[in-house]
Structure 1
Amino acid sequence: MNGTRGVVIGYDGSDHSMQALDWAMDEAELRKLPLVVCHAWQWPYGDGDPAARESLRHAAEHVLWHGADCARASSPGLDVRPDLYEGSTTVRLEELSADAGLLVVGSRGLGAVARAVIGSVAAHAVAHAQCPVIVVRGRGPLPRRPREGPIVAGLADDGKADAVLAFACAEASVRGLPLLAVHAWHQPPVAWGGIAFPALDPMAVRDAADTWLAQALRPWREKQPNVMIEARTTQSPAGEALAAVTDATLVVVGSPHGRFGSVAAAMLRHAPCPVAIVR
């Protein structure tokens, strides 16, 4: 990418990748970055017939140029860079993510558990990409609401809050949207005589959660004074609390490298909108 931290989109011509392309074009325009449209192809039959192999390559070129042309037609001022790769899609997207500012992929809808989709392009990108990943779920054109909802950030006291907030605040700023920061808390139980009891006063736990969230948000309120930030703590499980924000434009969560975090997996199954995974 010539040192330019652009927006990379994995494109295969499907309805799902068209939806992801729509989102990626917005990201590239809003961030004033180039858009890299990547399509990978593989010859699956060993040495095979050279003419047939060349035919498959031409078909791959056609898919790629269709996506690039759609992006240019929809966004005439956008710097669109086609990337045709012979080999694994997951390998190429992981390579491109090393120099990318953002990777966008479509998803046919992840299965009931994260392991059900390990090996899919979206699952591999979420687990292994070296930049933030936005998974655009579902199919067809993105719905255009008369009023866009907030960017929603799921925050945990696990060392990832600043990375999540950096991405979420930037997204809220470029889109001109408010940011809703959600932190889930729970009471750690203790067992006595085979019966579990709350270890702490629930009001004290809630107050501690409120204090932690306020402290986590304080520097970002100063760095991003143009972003309206709302804080919300909840005793509900984090995944349920985030999925309950049905008007969200984007949900942003953190996840460990190399695997799905539990909250990220829940969002990829149930979020009502695209999901950003940040490390």
Structure 2
Amino acid sequence: MRDPSDKIAARILLATDDSEEARYATHKAVELAGKLGSELHVIYVGDSALHIGDMGAVALDPQVEEQAQKKLDEESRRLLDEQVRKIEAAGGTVAQSYLRMGGRADSIVRLAEEIDAGMVVMGSRGQGGIRRALMGSVADGVARHAHCPVLVVRGDGPAALFPARIVLAIDGSEEARAATETAQTLAAGTSSEIHVVHAGFTAHLPYTQPYMAENIESFAKQAEKEAREFLEGRVEEIKTKTGLPVHSHLRRGDPSGEIVELAEEVNANLVVIGSRGLGGIRRSLMGGVSDSVVRHAHCPVLVVRDAGAEDGD
């Protein structure tokens, strides 16, 4: 087990509601906290009386608003306390619980910063209707803006995370470097194996003669050679640092599809991916790619930002 002072292991923030997806996320957070010796913090974000349902802000009489908000506060507190009891009944220990009202993604991101969380864990979906979902814009918003890695859990994933087969998606970006460091920490702390995938590499064709068949084949071979050298170099670095089994996978084609497919082929327990990557001709592991992997992978996905990245880069 790694020293709990390690940044990732120090403090895990679980964002929960009472949905099925959040229950799966709770199991993963408890397991991870136990494996890494982490403090487990829990946040429940309830509704604001001014934003009940999906119709945006509504105008209420001040007295009616106060009474409605009081009821929402009480119900939210009850649900938070219920989640804490379930965690403790499952053998977990909650260091502290937090109730916030309104602005789910913002509330989760702000609290993660306040407590200096090493990771946020949340379900990919949540309650619909009056209780706004922990899905889509909320999970995406937290993954894009949290200062720390965000583990998004699906309800139909593997029963246990660790020891794991971790699929680590890389390119040459700083975000991928950060994802690599995170995957190394998790693997070392849980005796897991890592499958490193570099997907979607592209040949750089010269502008003056882009359609000459013989040149296209030559450039494609050179691109594959460079991609393989890059991949094997990263694999050797990870082997040296962790001393754990590390496997390399070079895949041509759409990055998100190849990553998801590989995760299924190796029966991965976890995918680790950077939230951004290289732009330009080299395809990036950002935006659409990481979002697509989160939505389609059969297992939990850990989205990692570079700590030095600015929002909107």
Letter matched to residue 132 of structure 1? P
Paired position in structure 1 for 2:44: 39
Which of 149, 161, 176 is the aligned partner of 2:176? 161
Letter matched to residue 254 of structure 1? G
What percent identity do the matched residue pairs reach?
24
Letter matched to residue 161 of structure 1? A
Letter matched to residue 73 of structure 2? R
| Cα pair distance change 1:31/1:196, threshold 3 Å | farther
CA distance in 1, matches of 2:12, 2:121: 7
CA distance in 2, matches of 1:146, 1:22: 9
Residues 31 and 161 in structure 2, CA contact (< 8 A), matched pair in contact too: no
Paired position in structure 2 for 1:264: 290
1:205 matched to 2:220: no
Displacement after TM superposition at 1:228 (Å): 0.9
| Cα pair distance change 1:96/1:145, threshold 3 Å | closer
Q: Deviations over 1:129-167 (max 9, x none)?
A: 110001112x36x54379975100000122333211111
Paired position in structure 2 for 1:30: 35
Paired position in structure 2 for 1:133: 150
| Cα pair distance change 1:223/1:21, threshold 3 Å | same
Residues 235 and 247 in structure 2, CA contact (< 8 A), matched pair in contact too: no
* Bigger mean CA offset, 148-157 vs 124-133: 148-157
RMSD over aligned Cα atoms: 3.0
Task: Please give the secondary structure, in 2, of the residue aligned with 1:276.
Answer: strand
Which of 103, 106, 112 is the aligned partner of 2:120? 103
* Bigger mean CA offset, 151-160 vs 43-52: 43-52
Structure having the higher strand fraction is 1
CA distance in 2, matches of 1:264, 1:209: 20
| Cα pair distance change 1:243/1:146, threshold 3 Å | closer
Displacement after TM superposition at 1:191 (Å): 6.2
Residues 178 and 228 in structure 1, CA contact (< 8 A), matched pair in contact too: yes
Paired position in structure 2 for 1:275: 301
Paired position in structure 2 for 1:8: 13
Residues 151 and 303 in structure 2, CA contact (< 8 A), matched pair in contact too: yes
1:91 matched to 2:117: no
Displacement after TM superposition at 1:261 (Å): 2.3
| Cα pair distance change 1:83/1:146, threshold 3 Å | closer
Displacement after TM superposition at 1:73 (Å): 0.9
Letter matched to residue 88 of structure 1? G
Displacement after TM superposition at 1:102 (Å): 0.2
Letter matched to residue 54 of structure 1? K
Paired position in structure 2 for 1:114: none
1:71 matched to 2:87: yes
1:234 matched to 2:239: no
CA distance in 1, matches of 2:190, 2:136: 32
Aligned residues: 265
CA distance in 1, matches of 2:22, 2:286: 22
Structure 1 residue runs of 5 or longer lacking an equivalent are 110-116
TM-score by length of 2: 0.75
CA distance in 2, matches of 1:143, 1:119: 21
Letter matched to residue 102 of structure 2? G
CA distance in 2, matches of 1:145, 1:13: 20
| Cα pair distance change 1:200/1:24, threshold 3 Å | same
Which of 186, 195, 212 is the aligned partner of 1:180? 195
Q: Deviations over 1:205-249 (max 9, x none)?
A: 222111112222333222211x21111112222212211121111
Displacement after TM superposition at 1:196 (Å): 7.0
CA distance in 2, matches of 1:147, 1:214: 25
TM-score by length of 1: 0.84
| Cα pair distance change 1:145/1:21, threshold 3 Å | closer
| Cα pair distance change 1:194/1:217, threshold 3 Å | closer
| Cα pair distance change 1:194/1:166, threshold 3 Å | closer
Paired position in structure 1 for 2:242: 224
Task: Please give the secondary structure, in 2, of the residue aligned with 1:134.
Answer: strand
Paired position in structure 1 for 2:273: 253
* Bigger mean CA offset, 63-72 vs 187-196: 187-196
Which of 215, 223, 242 is the aligned partner of 2:233? 215
CA distance in 2, matches of 1:38, 1:72: 15
CA distance in 2, matches of 1:18, 1:135: 12
CA distance in 1, matches of 2:234, 2:163: 25
